[in-house]
Amino acid sequence: MSTHLTEIASNFKLEGQVEEVAPLGEGFINDTFIINTVGNGPKYILQRKNKNIFSPIPDMMENIQKVCLHIKKKVEATGGDPMREAMTIIPANDGKLYFLDEEEEYWAVCLFIEDTIAYEAAETPELAYSGGKGIGRFQSLVADLKEPLVNILPGFHDIRYRFKQWDEVLAKDPVGRKESVVEEISWIESRREEMLDFWKLVEDGTIPTRISHNDTKINNILFDKKGDVLCVIDLDTVLSSTVLNDFGDAMRFYTNTGLEDDENLENVSMDQEIYKAFAKGYLEETSWFLSDTEKEYLAFSAKYITYEQVLRFLMDYIDGDNYYKVKSPEHNLIRTRAQYKLLQSMEAQFEEMNKIVKALS
């Protein structure tokens, strides 16, 4: 494997001689490696990109490059360090942003940024605040990038598209599970109109389409040794969509006092302190470009994305577990119930959530 990886690495324009290519992290979607070069040469990240999820990969790499170059320009203009405050894509020897190997697998390389800190979870309001600043800063840097990106994940946070999939899966009921989840299905149906009403505002342009990150976990933000936000990484899912989705998905992750698949529903609720801290950091960076309507719907976006996740987990359960990896036959159902508990907690605190955003904007 290692010689194979060294060979793959040799197809990219690297500085210095490759010393070793070693696995890095345990991502569920891509395979990630670190390339060490001899002596004091730079390190690189090598990834095999998952072509089953992101398609087509060449378009995805173009999207990433567009965003990276734009951020670099902005960072440079304000006296920052474009090699540390933005990702640097390393092209292949033929100039392409990827290398296609003989097994039709796509590989891409970026520069490894040294001397950084990454966190696995945002358990304190201070970290949630930093996370909000990180995502807000990213959105703010690309707020003036007007050309749309290629849509490599059609319908990703589009609830109309999700309902289409949902209706098809329910009509088919391929593994006969529908009857056992009548109550759970009613959770989705009773909110269908409310969610579509929101999405209509995106469809008719009342809520603008901008560039969003779509994987707002805190470990996708690199901090410098002082603890300040340096750079947002993992740009595979950058999309032209509403930026509210990033706020909403971050709130789904950050504020949950339990696990995404907690079996003990008592553990699951929305933590208002974390919500407030993230919203503060986020709005400090984004207030200048968000429209009044976007601000008005920030709190709603947390409910929207959490609802969408309840739908996606339940739909995958009814469909026979084809999308998400599961640890047990009931795993998607456990996730559904835990995310629904979180949604209910958000609904109960919705007035407060709106007040918090209003006070901060």
Structure tokens at 69: 């170059």
Nearer to Mg ion, 141 or 238 (CB): 238
Q: Give the residue, chosen from 245, 255, 309, 349, that forms a contact with ligand GN1 under the rule CB under 6 A.
A: 309
Nearer to ligand GN1, 260 or 296 (CB): 260
Q: State in angstroms the smallest separation of the CB of 307 from ligand GN1.
A: 12
Please work out the total of residues on this chain that contact ligand GN1, with binding judged by CB under 6 A: 6
Q: Give the residue, chosen from 29, 143, 265, 360, that forms a contact with ligand GN1 under the rule CB under 6 A.
A: 29
Q: State in angstroms the smallest separation of the CB of 326 from ligand GN1.
A: 12
Nearer to Mg ion, 215 or 285 (CB): 215
Nearer to Mg ion, 49 or 337 (CB): 49
Q: Give the residue, chosen from 158, 215, 262, 321, that forms a contact with Mg ion under the rule CB under 5 A.
A: 215
Residues 259-278 that bind ligand GN1 (CB under 6 A): 260
How far apart CA 142 and CA 140 sit, in angstroms, is 5
Q: State in angstroms the smallest separation of the CB of 101 from ligand GN1.
A: 23
Nearer to ligand GN1, 139 or 220 (CB): 220
Residue with tokens 């599961």: 326
Please work out the total of residues on this chain that contact Mg ion, with binding judged by CB under 5 A: 2
Q: State in angstroms the smallest separation of the CB of 28 from ligand GN1.
A: 5
Q: State in angstroms the smallest separation of the CB of 217 from ligand GN1.
A: 7
330 binds, among Mg ion, ligand GN1, none (CB under 5 to 8 A by kind): none
Nearest Cα to 307, choosing from 164, 137, 189?
Answer: 189
How far apart CA 138 and CA 70 sit, in angstroms, is 11
Residue 22 has φ and ψ, to the nearest 5°, of -125, 150
260 binds, among Mg ion, ligand GN1, none (CB under 5 to 8 A by kind): ligand GN1
How far apart CA 77 and CA 119 sit, in angstroms, is 29
Is 28 a residue that touches ligand GN1 (CB under 6 A)?
yes
Q: How open is the CA angle 170-174-175, to the nearest 5 degrees? A: 115
24 binds, among ligand GN1, Mg ion, none (CB under 5 to 8 A by kind): none
How far apart CA 185 and CA 57 sit, in angstroms, is 35
Span near Mg ion by CB under 5 A; candidates 158-166, 226-234, 261-269, 270-278: 226-234
309 binds, among Mg ion, ligand GN1, none (CB under 5 to 8 A by kind): ligand GN1
Nearer to Mg ion, 215 or 316 (CB): 215
Name the burial class of residue 361, with classes exposed (0-12), middle (13-18) and buried (19+) by CB atoms within 10 angstroms of its CB.
middle
Span near Mg ion by CB under 5 A; candidates 6-14, 215-223, 248-256, 266-274: 215-223
Is 294 a residue that touches ligand GN1 (CB under 6 A)?
no
Residues 41-100 that bind ligand GN1 (CB under 6 A): 53
Nearest Cα to 27, choosing from 157, 212, 215?
Answer: 215
Residue with tokens 């109309």: 160
Residues 171-210 that bind ligand GN1 (CB under 6 A): none
Question: How is 70-139 classified by DSSP, letter by letter?
Answer: HHHHHHHHTT--TTTSS--EEPBTTS-SSEE-TTS-EEEEEEPPPS-B--S---SHHHHHHHHHHHHHHH
Q: Are 20 and 47 in contact (CB under 8 A)?
A: no
Nearest Cα to 213, choosing from 176, 188, 243?
Answer: 243
How far apart CA 15 and CA 21 sit, in angstroms, is 15
53 binds, among Mg ion, ligand GN1, none (CB under 5 to 8 A by kind): ligand GN1
69 binds, among Mg ion, ligand GN1, none (CB under 5 to 8 A by kind): none
Residue 147 has φ and ψ, to the nearest 5°, of -65, 135
How far apart CA 254 and CA 271 sit, in angstroms, is 8
Contact residues for ligand GN1, defined by CB under 6 A: 28-29, 53, 215, 260, 309
